[in-house]
């Protein structure tokens, strides 16, 4: 029953719809009919609240969309198409359409995380950019790389083909001495180490193409235990057997002798016995040693450095090609020597040869004719020369031009100085010894030369061959002097003194 507000005193304060209200003239209308009529009219509600707890709004979705001025409405049930609509912080759940790839039908179609990288960047390489939302990224296996996919586990495995890629820690190794041998393209297998003394040999019948094998007799000649000393020989003693034949003494020859174990023996032949070999450094205090037979090179090579085989390492050098002497092979007793053309060949020492007190010089040379004198060696205190122009002699200068005769052209011979000082010395010419000229003054040179002197460097030069030079900082013992001359003459000429 409707309540009538502010009813006058004594009047009814409520209405039940049976009351009548004057409409026009004598016409009256029930209140209930008036209310029903009003409800049929279209009403515009402005700033009105409808309590949906006690009221129901009815109508179709289309009717509601027509009634809404912005056409922005969706129903709880059914399928709606939203075009150009904005959803602000929506909560979306319970997808049930598995065909839309939001999830499986049996898990309620739960939303998955659809975030993805558009660009794949690799340092130092160009970027891989997706061309579309459905573009496919393809992984390509490079050399010695394998790629394995597992669809069930949703995994991709990258691996180095044929091993881990780290040789030192590869599982192929089992023990000390193991060897990895190729078995095919990009594959290998382990070959276990052999036993002591075995050697690795090729064998196509093996998995790796290799095998360890015991070497046959005589396959390692250079390292065989049969050798004990320089000059040892191996002589056969029977089928596939041998024994050592110890080297003989200088001058002996190898002869056949069936009574010997090896069928060979060293024998002294009739005639003179060659002298014992005496190298320059076999005698103490050697400060310079040139031995041209120890130089390496071919016939006619221009020699830029003449080596010093003593501990001094005082090589002499020539950088200018036109001033280099040439190497001549098989020129003296089958040995090689250095040829100076008598025009401009010479060498300079890196360190000046300073012998102010005792000294010994031995030079093996073969002078050739030249008008005037030809320097052999210039050291700090004086020079040694030969001369075949007019008077065939040789000697020293800068200390009074001490001179000794008997020089022979074109023949290897030993020239020497053997003295207590640069003003007290003996000339040595092969086995001839003669006192040098006693002069007590000289002018020191600042540079030492081979084949020229300080007076006319490069123009006053050696003419002929130099084979060997030996210099000592002492006056060596006479026995050492004679033994050296014996050996030098035998070495360079084949002469044997009886």
Strand stretches in 79-226, DSSP E: 119-120, 128-129, 145-150, 155-160, 179-184, 187-191, 199-202, 210-213
| Residues ≥6 apart with Cβ < 8 Å to 315 | 305, 306, 307, 308, 349, 350
Per-residue pLDDT reduced to its tens digit, 160-179 = 765 555 677 778 888 998 88
* 352 has pLDDT over 60: yes
Stronger pLDDT, 373 or 285, i.e. the higher one: 285
Handedness of CA 476, 477, 481, 483 (dihedral sign): negative
Single out the residue of 137, 119, 121 nearest to residue 129, CA to CA. 119
Q: According to CATH, where is 2.60.120.200 located in the chain? A: 280-493
Residue with tokens 């039908």: 105
Q: Which of 46-50, 77-81, 141-145 bottoms out in mean pLDDT, i.e. has the lowest?
A: 77-81
Per-residue pLDDT reduced to its tens digit, 452-474 = 988 788 888 999 999 999 999 99
* 72 has pLDDT over 80: no
Cβ–Cβ contacts within 10 Å for residue 399, how many? Answer: 23
Per-residue pLDDT reduced to its tens digit, 378-404 = 888 888 877 776 677 777 776 555 667
* 250 has pLDDT over 60: yes
3-state secondary structure of 40: helix
Per-residue pLDDT reduced to its tens digit, 98-111 = 455 544 545 444 45
User: What does the pLDDT read at residue 258?
Assistant: 84
Per-residue pLDDT reduced to its tens digit, 197-247 = 888 889 999 998 999 988 765 556 777 778 888 888 888 888 888 889 898
User: What does the pLDDT read at residue 456?
Assistant: 83
User: What does the pLDDT read at residue 364?
Assistant: 96
Mean pLDDT of 39-43: 78
- Give the C-alpha separation, 318 to 40, whole Å: 132
CA dist 110 → 34, 77, 103, 279 (Å): 56, 19, 5, 100
* 282 has pLDDT over 90: yes
Single out the residue of 306, 349, 343, 367 nearest to residue 458, CA to CA. 343
User: What does the pLDDT read at residue 217?
Assistant: 57
Mean pLDDT of 71-84: 63
Question: For residues 118 and 108, is the Cβ–Cβ distance under 8 A?
Answer: no
State the average pLDDT for the chain.
82
- Give the C-alpha separation, 7 to 97, whole Å: 64
Mean pLDDT of 51-61: 79
| Residues ≥6 apart with Cβ < 8 Å to 434 | 404, 426, 427
Q: Where are the alpha helices (DSSP H) in 41-118?
A: 61-67
Domain 280-493 has CATH 1.10.287.1080: no
* 64 has pLDDT over 80: no
- Give the C-alpha separation, 65 to 74, whole Å: 9
- Terminal-residue alpha carbon distance, the chain: 170
Phi, psi for 202 (deg, rounded to 5):
-80, 140
Whether the pTM exceeds 0.95: the reply is no
């Amino acid at each position: 029953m409707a309540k009538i507000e502010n009813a006058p005193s004594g009047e009814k304060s409520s209405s039940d719809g049976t009351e009548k209200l004057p409409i026009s003239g004598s016409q009256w209308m029930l209140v209930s009919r008036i209310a029903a009529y009003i409800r049929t009219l279209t009403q515009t509600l402005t700033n009105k609240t409808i309590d949906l707890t006690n009221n129901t709004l009815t109508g179709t979705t289309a009717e509601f969309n027509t009634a809404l001025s912005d056409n922005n409405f969706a129903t709880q049930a059914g399928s709606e198409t939203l075009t150009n609509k904005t959803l602000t912080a929506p909560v979306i759940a319970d997808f049930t359409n598995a065909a839309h790839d939001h999830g499986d039908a049996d898990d309620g179609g739960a939303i998955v995380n659809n975030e993805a990288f558009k660009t794949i960047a690799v340092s130092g390489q160009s970027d891989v950019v997706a061309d579309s939302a459905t573009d496919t990224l393809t992984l390509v296996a490079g050399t010695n790389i394998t790629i394995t996919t597992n669809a069930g586990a949703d995994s991709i495995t990258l691996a180095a083909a044929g091993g881990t890629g780290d040789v030192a820690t590869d599982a192929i190794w089992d023990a000390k001495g193991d060897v990895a041998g190729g078995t095919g393209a990009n594959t290998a297998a382990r070959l276990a180490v052999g036993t002591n003394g075995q050697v690795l040999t090729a064998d196509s019948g093996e998995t790796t193409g290799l095998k360890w094998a015991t070497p046959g007799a005589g396959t390692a000649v250079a390292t065989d235990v049969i050798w004990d000393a320089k000059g040892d020989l191996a002589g056969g003693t029977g089928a596939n057997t041998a024994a050592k034949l110890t080297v003989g003494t200088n001058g002996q020859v190898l002869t056949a002798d069936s009574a010997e174990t090896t069928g060979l023996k060293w024998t002294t032949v009739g005639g003179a016995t060659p002298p014992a070999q005496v190298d320059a450094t076999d005698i103490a205090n050697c400060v310079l040693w040139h031995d041209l037979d120890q130089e390496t090179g071919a016939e006619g090579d221009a020699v830029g450095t003449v080596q010093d085989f003593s501990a001094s390492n005082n090589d002499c050098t020539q950088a200018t090609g036109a001033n280099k002497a040439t190497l001549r092979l098989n020129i003296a007793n089958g040995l090689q020597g250095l040829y100076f053309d008598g025009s401009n060949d010479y060498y300079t020492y890196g360190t000046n040869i300073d012998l102010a007190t005792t000294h010994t010089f031995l030079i093996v040379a073969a002078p050739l004719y030249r008008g005037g004198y030809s320097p052999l060696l210039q050291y700090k205190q004086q020079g040694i020369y030969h001369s075949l122009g007019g008077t065939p002699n040789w000697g020293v200068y800068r200390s009074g031009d001490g001179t000794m005769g008997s020089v022979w052209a074109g023949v290897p011979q030993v020239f020497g100085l053997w003295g207590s000082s640069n003003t007290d010395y003996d000339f040595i010419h092969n086995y001839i010894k003669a006192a040098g000229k006693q002069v007590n003054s000289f002018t020191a040179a600042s540079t030492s030369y081979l084949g020229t002197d300080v007076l006319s460097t490069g123009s006053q030069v050696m003419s002929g061959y130099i084979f060997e030079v030996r210099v000592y900082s002492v006056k060596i013992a006479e026995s050492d002097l004679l033994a050296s001359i014996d050996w030098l003459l035998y070495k360079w000429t084949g002469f044997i003194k009886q």
